[in-house]
Chains A and B, each alone.
Chain A
Amino acid sequence: MSQKSFETRARELASAFAAKDYERCSHLLPPLKVVLSQLNILVPLLSSDLGLLAVARDILEIGALTAIFLRDDLLFSRYIAQLSPFYAMKDKIHPPSSNEKKLIALRLLLLLSKNDIAEFHTELETLEDEADKDVYIRYPVMLERWLMEGSYDKVWKATTQRSEVPAEEFAIFADVSIANCGGTQNRWY
C-alpha cells in the first residue's frame, strides 16, 4: 500500500474519532495497524522514520481511546502496551503527544477498578514527579488514596459529579468504581 493512501486512511480515522463514531473507528483500525507493521513503524526503532512515528503513535492513541469508549479492557491494555515504547522515546518523537498523560491516567484507573493495586503502584512509581501536578493523573491517584483510607463519600462525589471528572473518558469508569466500593460497603452493613 502506498504511503499516500495510508495518510488518507489515517485522516479518515481521525475524523471518525472526532465525530465520535467509535464503531467506525474500530473497523478502520485493524487494517491500519497492518499498514503500520508493513511500514515497520508499529514498534518504534531508532532507525525508523521519526515523522511517521508520530502518526503511528496518534493512530494507536485513537485506538486506545476507542477501546475505552467501547469498554473493551483487554483491547485497551494491548494498545497501552504497544504505546509504551513510543512513550519511552518521547524526546525523539515530535510533536509530543497531548494524550499521553490522559492515557496513563486511564490505565491507572483501569488497574484501580480491577483492584490490581500492586500494578497500580508499580505504574505510579514510573511517573514520580508528574503524579501530583497533572490534572489527569491526579484523579486516579486521589481516588486510590480515598479508597485506601476509606473516605468513600469523597470517592462517590468524585465519580458521580460530572464537574469532578477531568475528561469524559474517565466517567466510563465511574460505574465500575461505584460498584467496587458499593460491594465493599455492603459487606459491613
Chain B
Amino acid sequence: MAAKILAGVDIGNSSTEVAIASVEGDHAHFLSQHLVRTTGIKGTTDNVKGIRLALQEAAKKAAIELKDIDLIRLNDAVPVIGDLAMDLISETIITESSMIGHNPDTPGGAGLGVGTTVLIDQLLDVEEKERGYIAVIPKPFDYEWVAHRLNQAESDGISVTGAIVQKDDGVLIHNRLNKKIPIVDEVSLIEKVPLLKLAAIEVALPGHVIRTLSNPYGLSTVFQLDPDQTIQIALVAKALVGNRSAVVIRTPQGEVVERKIEAGRVILIGSKNQQLEVSINDGAEAIMNMYEKLEELVDVQGETGTNVGGMFNGLRHDLAELTGQALNEIKISDFLAVDAVIPTSISGSMAGELSMESGVALASMVKTDKVPVQRVARLLEKEVGIAVEIGGVEAEMAILGALTTPGTRKPIVIIDMGGGSTDAAMMNEAGKIISSHLAGAGDMVTMLINSELALGDKELAEKIKKYPLGKVLSIFHMQLEDGTILFSEAPFPPDTFGKVVIREEKDLTPLSNKASMEKIREIRRSAKRRVFVTNALRALKRVVPTGNLKRLSFVVMVGGSALDFEIPQMLTEELGKYGIVAGFANIRGTEGPRNAVATGLVLSSVRQEVLK
C-alpha cells in the first residue's frame, strides 16, 4: 500500500497549527509542523489565508510540494465564545477635604508638626505667636523667598511647625531653613486646604512610613478627640497607612467614608427551575461556592439597575454581536468570578490620592450555533485543490495528540489552556471521552494584570504575563526575579537604565510604572493562580465521573498557556497535592504542549483506516 500524505490543521483562537505526516497502513510518520497567527475570528472564512500560509511553510520544511498532500483534516471548532468584564464593589469618598495622604518623591525634613493653617504671605501678621502654625504655600511663591519668610518668622518668635507646598519644592525650602520643619509638597489642589484650622503634618525619613497620623489613637491625641470622634476618624488613619508623608486637617464636618457600592446580586439559573442568588459584595469565593451547589448552569443574570446587571448586560451584548445571535437567545453556559484590586482615585482628594478598591472580574462564555467550519473547509478545498475533511471534536483530537507524550496512558485527562477558555477532557480505559469548556483563561489574566497595575495598556499587560522581569541596575548589570545578577556582554539600551524591564527573548521593554519588580511579579503570579489554578480544579471536577480528583493519575496540559513559564509549574504543584502526575505535554516527544490537535487529527484518520 502506497504512503499517503496527510495534513492536520488546528484553527485556534490565536494560532493556527499544522502537522504533516506520511501515513502508510496504520503507521504515521510525521514530517513537519508549522504555526502561524490565526487570520480573522476562529471559524470564519478569513482563516483560509492563514491556513494556506501554514501549509506552505510546513510543506517546505518537509521538502514536499503543497500539491503532494493528499488530504487535509480540519478540526471541528468548539462552538463557545467567551468575554470579560470587571467592576468596582467599594469606593472611598472624602466628603469634605480633610486629609492629604500622599507620597511625593521628596518631602522635606522629618517629624510631626501640629498647628493652625495659614497662608505664607499672612504668616508674619499672626497675633498669637506661640500657637504653632503650618504654612500653606501655593505655586506662585518662589522657594527662596518662602525660605526667607520662614526664617524671618522664626526670628520674630512665630512658631512654625510645618509647611504644605504646591510645587515640588520641599527639599529646596528645607535646605534653606534655619529651624528644620516637616514639609509636604506636590499638593496639587492646595486651594482646597482649609485655612485657620488645626492641622497635623507628618513626614517620615526615607524608607520609613508615618506612624502617628496613621494610628487612630495618634490622631485622637493630636486633635484631642473623644471616643466617638475617634471611631469616625479611624478611616482617615486607615487611608494613610503606608505613606511617607501626610497632612490631616480638622474640619468640623470633614470625614472620610468608605462606601460599599450596591453592586447587586448574581442570579444563577439551573436546570429544573433551580434558582440561586448571591450578592457580588460577598466576593468571588462566595459566588463560586454558590455556583458549585448548582447541578447544571442554564443561565446567569445580574440584578437589573446595579453594577453586576450592567456587567452581564455588557457581556451579553458583546457575545450577541460576536455570534450574530439575538440578545435574548444568549445563555451564559459558564462563568468565573475572580476578586480583583482596582486602583481608583479617591473622589474629593487634594493630591490625587489613589485607594485600592476591591472589585470583581468576570469571565463568561456562551454556547453558540455550530461554528461554520464547513464553509472554511469548502473554501480551502477550492483554493488549494486538495480534498479537505472535517475531523472529530477538538477535545478528542487533543487527547489523541496528548497521548503521544512519552510516559502517558489511558485513562488520561487533558487541560487545554488557551486565551479565551480552559477546556478539559477525560478519556477512560475504553476510550470514552467526556469534555467540558470553562470561561476564563489567558485573556483574563491579562485583564487582571492590566487593571491591578493600572497600566491601561493591554499589549503591555500581555507582555508582563508572558515574560519574566528584571531590573537594570547599571549599564551592564541586571537583577533577575530570583535575585541573581546577570552580567551582560553588551551594554543595555539607555532607556532601560534603572528600570524594571520585561525580558522578552531578544528585547527589553522598560516599564514606566513605579511598582517594584517584586510587586509586579506578585500581581502577575497571583493573577495566574486565581484564574488557572481555580479553573484547572473546576475543570477536573467536571470531567472526573465521581468528582474525586484522587482517582486521577495522568493530567496533561496543552495549549498556548501551557507554554507559559510558570503556569504549568503552579498546576504541577497544586495537583501534586492530590497525587496526580501533572505536567505540560510533550507532543510526539518533541513538540512540547503545541500541536496536540493537529497531531490528533492525523492520528485519528490512521485509526479509521485500521478499523476499516
Q: Does A associate with B in a complex?
A: no
